[in-house]
Each structure stands twice: as C-alpha cells, then as structure tokens.
C-alpha cells in the first residue's frame, strides 16, 4: 500500500530512526530547559506525524476515518488543561502537589531533585503551610 | 396443459430474516473493521491522554522533580525505542507484501514484527526487575507511580499486540491471507502502529524531559 500511495516506507523508517537519535542527543544539549523541552516536543511531534500519516495511512484516508478522530482533539485539550486550575495551578492546596505522607514517619515530605528525602535521612517537613 | 402452484412451505418459502434487504450498502463507505478499529483507537487516545495528562499536571505543579536521566536507563530504552519503530516498519512491509500477493513475505515480515515486539516487552520486564530490586516500587513517590502507570499500561498494550500479531502470523503460515483478503492484517497493523506512536510520546515525556 505504501508504495502505491507514493511514499517510500524505508525512507520514513530511516527518518524516524534519525529523529530518535537526534532527540536523544538533544536531550543532553546544554541549553535552557525551555529550549530543550521545546525541541524534544518538536521531535516527538515530527515522529508522531510520520507514524500517524504514513505508517497508519491517515494521510490517505477519507473524511469518515479522519472525522472519527476530530472530536478527540478538543477532548485531549480539556483533559490536560482543564484540570490544571484545580490541581497544579491551585494556590489554595493544603500541600504542594508532589508532597505526600511518608509511611514510615507519618510526616509530609516532598520529592527531592535526586532521591526521596528519606534516603538521605534529611526529611524536609513541609506540612506547615 | 395445466400448471399447478406448489403449496406454501414455510421451511422453504419463508424469508430467512425479517430484516429488509436493500439493493445498496447502508453502511459507511469504509471497511467496517477499519471503522471499528479507528473508533477503538480514538478511545485509546483518550485513555493515554488521561495518563499523560495526569503526569503533566502533576509534574507542572511540582516544586521539584527527579531527573529521569539519573534514575532510568535512557540508553537501553532508546535502543528499545529503535526496536519498536523497526517493528512498526516491519509491519508495514508485511502489509505491503500481502497486498502484492506475497504470502512468504507476509509470514517473514510478520514473524520479525512479533519477535521485535516480544523483545521490547522482554527489555521492559528486565528494566522493571532492576528498578524493583533497587527499591523503586510504584508506591515510592509520585514520580514512580506515574512512571509505572504509564509504561505499565503501554506494556500491557504491547503484550496484547504481540499476541494478536502472533495469531495473525499463525493464519499467515496456514495461507489464510492473500492479495484480496488482508483486512485482518491491516487492522492488527493499525493497532501496532498506534502502540508505537504512544511509545514515541512516552519515551519523550517520561525518559527525556
């Protein structure tokens, strides 16, 4: 089917491998976080575009199949963004989102940059706000 | 010359179905199987959007977050990602082969696809084993909870895909498919590419960001 649709399967495959390699290398680039993350999302979008349109043949489907997926796009945005004001962007939360009770000590601790606080025996209490 | 009208025999003369028979196809102008699989994939999109969305919401609201590159084996997983993409490409080759009537090509490429998917699951199981031995259990903290939830559900989908394609492969070995009968191969391929597509996003979001 792919050859009859006018695209070369092998080229798309090599392109996907190249994009994956470039994405991994980009993740180690010494750039600001916003630039690294933005680049990674662009790489992921490009790979998804090629898989979706060529491997899954969506580019060559009719309006019925395409129309099936159209309602999912606004729903996806709702799922991701509509929850943020109630959770991650809510200043009225009793504790920060990732703070949780440590089962061993019964105290509220938060994620450390490298390891959980309990590993370094340096529990950072954060239950006072 | 006389003609006799045969008596009405319900077993012979009664219509087999009560449904009206139209002289046109009342279904959508697309294969029903393909219509169904895309409808199913649309629900799967929402399922994984829920998981990834929850991860993003939690992470964006977190004052700090572990560096995945220091906790996860990015190099092994990158190789595993190559493997899954290659497996997806092999599936495309398998479908191409049977559309051209090449039954041997279908069996060969489909076999490679199944092996690729099985190895992917094996590597993920190995990664889980190492992480669990080091004490990184799902209930350790939110990072690990979201990690196991997303990669675990994806792994279940990969397992289902491997089993599905293995069954298709068995049919291919028996010569069940040909150039005019390959819809089941195409449907399994769509599911497999979707699994690949989800992993591309998960690898970026969970392992690299």
Query: What's the length of chain B?
Result: 209
* Unique residue bearing structure tokens 């298709």: B168
Torsion of CA B162, B167, B168, B170, to 10 degrees: 120
Mapped onto helix, strand or coil, the DSSP state of residue B173 is helix
Beta bridge partners of A109: A100
Q: Find residues 151-180 of chain B whose CB sits inside 8 Å of chain A.
A: none
Number of Cβ atoms within 10 Å of the Cβ of A24: 22
How far is B101 from B145, CA to CA, in rounded Å? Answer: 47
Per-residue pLDDT band for B31 (boundaries 50, 70, 90) equals: confident
Average pLDDT in chain B: 89
Q: How far is CA A13 from CA A5, A17, A26, A57, A103, in A?
A: 16, 6, 20, 14, 48
**What average pLDDT score do residues B65-72 get?**
88
Give the count of Cβ contacts less than 8 A between chain A and B.
164
CATH code of domain B73-209:
1.20.120.80
Lowest mean pLDDT among B22-31, B51-60, B198-207: B22-31
pLDDT at A2: 55
- State how far residue B51 is from chain A, nearest Cα, in angstroms: 10
Quick: pLDDT tens for A31-88: 998 899 999 999 999 999 999 999 998 888 888 888 888 888 888 888 888 877 777 7
* B86, B109 Cβ separation under 8 angstroms: no
Identity of the residue in B52, B64, B197 whose CB atom sits nearest the CB atom of A52: B197
Lowest mean pLDDT among A12-21, A95-104, A115-124: A115-124
* Unique residue bearing structure tokens 């995945």: B68
Compute the C-alpha angle A101/B59/A99, nearest 5°.
15
Determine contact: A55 vs chain B, CB below 8 A: yes
Query: CA of B80: which chain A residue's CA is closest?
Result: A20
| Alpha-helical runs (H) found in A2-70 | 9-27, 33-50, 63-69
Determine contact: A24 vs chain B, CB below 8 A: yes
Q: Per the CB < 8 Å rule, is A44 touching B96?
A: no
> Best mutation site among B57, B71, B100 for testing chain A: the one with the most A CBs within 10 Å?
B57
* Distance from the first to the final alpha carbon of chain B: 92
**What average pLDDT score do residues B167-176 get?**
96
- Tell me the HSE value of B34 on the side-chain side, using a 13 A CA sphere: 18
């Amino acid at each position: 089917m792919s050859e009859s649709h006018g695209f070369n399967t092998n080229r798309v495959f090599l392109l996907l491998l190249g994009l994956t390699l470039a994405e991994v290398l980009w993740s180690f680039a010494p750039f600001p976080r916003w630039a690294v993350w933005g680049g990674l999302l662009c790489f992921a979008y490009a790979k998804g575009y090629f898989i979706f349109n060529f491997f899954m043949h969506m580019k060559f489907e009719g309006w019925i199949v395409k129309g099936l997926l159209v309602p999912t796009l606004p729903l996806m945005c709702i799922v991701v963004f509509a929850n943020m004001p109630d959770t991650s962007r809510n200043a009225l939360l009793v504790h920060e989102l990732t703070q949780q009770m440590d089962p061993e000590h019964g105290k509220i601790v938060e994620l450390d940059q490298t390891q959980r606080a309990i590993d370094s025996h340096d529990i950072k209490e954060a239950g006072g706000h | 010359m006389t003609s006799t009208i045969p008596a009405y025999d319900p077993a012979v003369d009664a219509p087999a179905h009560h449904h009206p028979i139209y002289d046109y196809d009342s279904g959508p102008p697309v294969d029903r199987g393909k219509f169904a699989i895309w409808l199913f994939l649309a629900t799967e999109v929402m399922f994984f959007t829920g998981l990834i969305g929850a991860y993003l919401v939690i992470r964006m609201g977190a004052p700090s977050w572990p560096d995945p590159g220091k906790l996860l084996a990015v190099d092994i997983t990158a190789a595993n990602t190559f493997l899954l993409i290659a497996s997806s490409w092999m599936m495309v080759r398998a479908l191409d082969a049977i559309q051209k009537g090449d039954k041997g090509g279908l069996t060969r490429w489909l076999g490679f696809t199944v092996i690729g998917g099985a190895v992917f699951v094996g590597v993920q199981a190995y990664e889980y084993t190492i992480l669990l031995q080091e004490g990184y259990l799902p209930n350790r903290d939110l990072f690990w909870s979201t990690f196991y939830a997303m990669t675990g559900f994806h792994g279940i989908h990969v397992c289902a895909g491997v089993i599905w394609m293995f069954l298709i492969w068995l049919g291919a070995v028996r010569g069940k498919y040909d150039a005019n009968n390959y819809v089941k191969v195409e449907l399994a391929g769509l599911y497999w590419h979707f699994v690949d597509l989800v992993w591309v996003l998960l690898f970026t979001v969970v392992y690299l960001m």
